[in-house]
Amino acid sequence: MLRVQKYGGSSVASADHIKRVALRVAKEREAGDDLVVVVSAMGQTTNQLIDLSRSISHNPAPREMDLLLSTGELVSGALLAMALRDLGHGAVSLSGFQAGIRTDTDFSRARITQIEPKRLQDEIGRGNIVIVAGFQGTTDDFEVTTLGRGGSDTTAVALAAELRAPVCEIYTDVDGIYTADPRIVPDARRLIDINYDEMLEMASEGARVMHNRAVELGWVYDVPILVASSLLDDSGGTRIHGGELMENRNKVRGIAHDAGIARVTLLGVPDRPGIAAQVFSPLADAGISVDIIVQNAGQHGLSDLSFTVTRDDLPETLERTREIQAELGAADVTADDHLAKVSIVGAGLTNSPGYAGAMFRALRDANVNIEMITTAEISLTCVVHQDHVEDAVRALHRAFSLETPDDIPL
Amino acid sequence: MLRVQKYGGSSVASADHIKRVALRVAKEREAGDDLVVVVSAMGQTTNQLIDLSRSISHNPAPREMDLLLSTGELVSGALLAMALRDLGHGAVSLSGFQAGIRTDTDFSRARITQIEPKRLQDEIGRGNIVIVAGFQGTTDDFEVTTLGRGGSDTTAVALAAELRAPVCEIYTDVDGIYTADPRIVPDARRLIDINYDEMLEMASEGARVMHNRAVELGWVYDVPILVASSLLDDSGGTRIHGGELMENRNKVRGIAHDAGIARVTLLGVPDRPGIAAQVFSPLADAGISVDIIVQNAGQHGLSDLSFTVTRDDLPETLERTREIQAELGAADVTADDHLAKVSIVGAGLTNSPGYAGAMFRALRDANVNIEMITTAEISLTCVVHQDHVEDAVRALHRAFSLETPDDIPL
């Protein structure tokens, strides 16, 4: 069987870590499987390279940044190949370019356009364990690109899709996806499996084990993804897939939260068509992701428009929003950067009356004030003050009895 | 004018160093020159990567080693490009692959077979300062190779040859080639210029500012090489070329020495044709460079064969030589690893009687015993005990009045 695995930065953080991963991979090779192993950069390498670039330039060119950052995965890949060869196995490490990973030209967040699998297939055919540097590819002009945060997961899922692996195995420092962040909810439970769409909703801070793009790619190409621990021999992990779930009586699958958000409000906005585009196009052009948007119809043909961004994006968002305010002739711009999101996630939630009421009651009983509400197909999200987010997560986990296993007997 | 420059590891050792190099390069760009700048890895980066690989494997695969080590120059190149762009100049950093540097498949000591200059020329045509990662290239199969020690110098000279630059500028932490190691001879003098062949003879320890392969390449392609300091604004430096020298009354151009050598002696070797091949072919196959060879015809059809190797190579050399001893039925193998070489270097030395005598007298007067003697076209070398090598260098520097400037008035 062909197995595609990915080991994250914490799993290859040192020479000893790399040797441990090599032992794991070697064992699987000895069991007869073909292996393609995607690696992230060692531990803090990527952050160190970013720091180095900042000590040179406040605004480094994305093209140079990508060339710089791509080196981290080359290093860990070469070292893992050396370790595997020392264990007596044929192994070869490939750069993104060598592995045939072609992308568009959008530096620092490139998208994979194509995988040319010849070299990969040749190396597998020769009996080599193939190590692939994650997070990177090249354009048609041989420019080196990186895939953005979580890019190594995307590399792994794309390779699994291209090579028709039955599953993409993501090994990390946690043993799966939990019903809530175990640091906040001690009796949070590891899920046996979860659907792609639910995973996307869960993938906010706390559950941020995998990047959304990798999950989306798995969904599109129907590649099941196993998230498991690289430290445990058999953690079971959590399987992300599109089929029937093994446990499904409880529609709420988990509680997601994100403590790092900020809200910006444009007050007294003229209430006419095209306003939303006028507000959000410049933000999108500046690369700012807007999450929740709430518009309140107001009096005198004016309304208030609120939206959330990550706290990191707040300074630039405010700058742009003040420009927009002037253009629109809006009354004022206000901001609150001490907010958090908390969500209940589960397929079919919004079609099931009662879950929203239960959520609001649980928050009221925990004395958590709700600042904004938004609903999606499979989630219900409340924005709360960040000091209350942990209480909110615990209250909701308890309210929906997520600590109780819910497997359907096979 | 197109200028090809190379900055060594000590010149790009930190973010501050890189910014200083950027200021220098920017100033030259502002003077109107086109620039191709080759960089080494930052300071100790290459050694740190080697240490990292050793903590993984005692015998890492050369292919993986090259992929690993090639990252050092990518990092410094990207950072220098960022720094130049911050100064308002168009700049782009290229990997060896992107710069079109093609090599043979001899990992860890690959030779450049070809440079495809299209991308370089395009970037120069666009007005960009082109930074090239030194020390690396790729094979026809897109495997990453490195060029061995001093490889960035080789990259620079090869680019200067391909792009028809009038000179290849090598910037380093010394301000030129000296008549002897200034740490040993305080009144050693910087040479204004030196011929390629003399430079090759001088390029032993102490004068090891540039690697021989780069000098050879300059010689073959007739590219003059300027060696100068990256710290001084105008050090003058030393120009290595093939033409008439500006100073040439004194045939002895400098004193070279190498304190790190070992001698191996095969005693009682049958004196018959083919012996030399039988001894030295296995050593060459093992990648061991043999330097001086001396054979003494002996009695009873037996002779003694001595040769020198670098001290680092002694353990493996002894192992192989003992195998050879057994094959040949030689009497014994002895070794001395406390030896050093000292040479007088200058074109036409061996055609000029009197220099050898003057050398031997100077060493006798300094009480330095001579263990071996060898002569070459432009040098005369004595092997001495390593404790005496500094005395020998000083005595020879004085004997040939190298402290006295010797310029021919223009």
Residue bearing tokens 């960022």: B82
In chain B, which residue's Cα lies nearest the Cα of A22?
B56
Does the beta carbon of B57 lie under 8 angstroms from any beta carbon of chain A? yes
**Quick one: average pLDDT of A182-202?**
89
Rounded to whole angstroms, what are the CA distances from B298 to A68, B268, B293, B303?
Answer: 62, 8, 16, 4
Question: Cβ–Cβ contacts within 10 Å for residue B115, how many?
Answer: 18
Which two structure tokens, joined as six digits, stand for A230? 């690289």
Q: Which of B49, B71, B78 sits opposite A64 (nearest CB)?
A: B78
Please tell me what DSSP assigns to residue A249. S
Query: How far off is chain A from B55, nearest CA to CA, in Å?
Result: 6
Considering only CB atoms, B75 lies closest to which of A18, A68, A93, namely A68
Contact by Cβ (8 Å): A254, A402: yes
Interchain contact A135–B (C-beta under 8 A): no
Residues B257 and B396: their CA atoms lie apart, in Å, by 11
Q: Is the pLDDT of residue B14 over 70?
A: yes
Residue A63: its chain B contacts at CB < 8 A? 92
> Which residues is B195 bridged to in the sheet?
B241
Asked if A12 and A44 touch (Cβ cutoff 8 Å), the reply is no
Q: How many CB pairs under 8 A join A and B?
A: 106
Residue that is written with structure tokens 């060493």 in the block = B363
Distance CA(B125)–CA(A57), nearest Å, equals 25
Residue B353 predicted with pLDDT over 50: yes
Confidence of residue B376 (pLDDT cuts 50, 70, 90): confident
Instruction: Give A41's contacts in chain B (Cβ within 8 Å).
Output: none
Residue with the two structure tokens 């518009």:
A295
Mutate to test the interface with A, among B20, B59, B82, B98 (most CBs of A within 10 A): B82
B61 touches chain A (CB under 8 A): yes
The three-class DSSP label of residue A82 is helix
pLDDT in tens, A234-248: 768 999 999 877 665
Give how far A77 is from chain B: nearest CA, Å: 8
Chain A residue closest to B98 (CA)?
A142
Those residues with Cβ within 8 angstroms of residue A125's Cβ, 6 or more apart along the chain or in another chain = none
Q: Tell if the CB–CB gap between A78 and B93 is shorter than 8 Å.
A: no
Query: Taking a C-beta distance cutoff of 8 angstroms, is the pair B36, B124 a contact?
Result: yes
Of A61, A79, A143, the CB nearest to B82: A61
Please compute the mean of the pLDDT values over residues A123-151 and round it to a whole number: 96
Exposed/middle/buried for residue A284 (C-beta within 10 Å: 0-12, 13-18, 19+): exposed
Chosen from A51, A57, A66, A98 to mutate, greatest number of chain B CBs within 10 A: A57
Dihedral, CA of residue A198, residue A204, residue A205 and residue A210, to nearest 10: 70
Q: Per the CB < 8 Å rule, is A93 touching B144?
A: no
Q: Is the pLDDT of residue A409 over 50?
A: no
pLDDT, tens digit, 9 for 90 and up, residues B243-290: 877 665 667 889 999 888 999 999 888 877 777 788 888 888 888 888
- Residue B67 touches chain A, beta carbons under 8 Å: yes
Q: Which of A56, A67, A83 sits opposite B74 (nearest CB)?
A: A67
pLDDT at B239: 94
Least Cα distance to A15 among A52, A35, A43 occurs for: A43
What mean pLDDT do residues B214-236 have? Answer: 88
Chain B stretch 76-95, residues whose beta carbon is closer than 8 A to a beta carbon of chain A: 77-79, 81-83, 85-86, 92-93, 95
Q: Does A49 contact chain B (CB < 8 Å)? A: yes
CA distance B150 to chain A (A): 21
- One-letter amino acid at A51 equals D
Judge whether residue B88 has pLDDT over 70: yes
* Dist CA B405 CA B249 (whole Å): 10
User: How, if at all, do strands A379-385 and A332-345 pair?
Assistant: antiparallel
Question: Comparing B139 with B381, which gets the higher pLDDT?
Answer: B139
Q: ipTM higher than 0.85?
A: no
Percentage of residues of chain A with pLDDT beyond 70: 94
Residue A177, helix vs strand vs coil: coil
Nearest to B227 by CA among B158, B175, B164, B165: B175
Q: B65 in contact with A at a CB cutoff of 8 Å?
A: yes
Residues found in chain A? 410
CB contact under 8 A, A144 and B95: yes
Strand, helix or coil for residue A199: helix
List pLDDT tens digits, range A14-52: 999 999 999 999 999 999 999 999 999 999 899 999 999
Which residue in chain A has the smallest CA separation from B53?
Answer: A79
Whether A61 and chain B come into contact, CB under 8 Å, resolves to yes
Residues of chain A found within 8 Å of residue B122, distances taken between Cβ atoms: none
Which of A56, A68, A86 is the closest to B57 by Cβ? A86
Name every residue whose Cβ is closer than 8 Å to that of residue B199 and which is 6 or more positions away in sequence. Answer: B177, B210, B215, B240
Q: How far is B61 from chain A (nearest CA, A)?
A: 6
| A288 in reach of chain B (CB within 8 A) | no
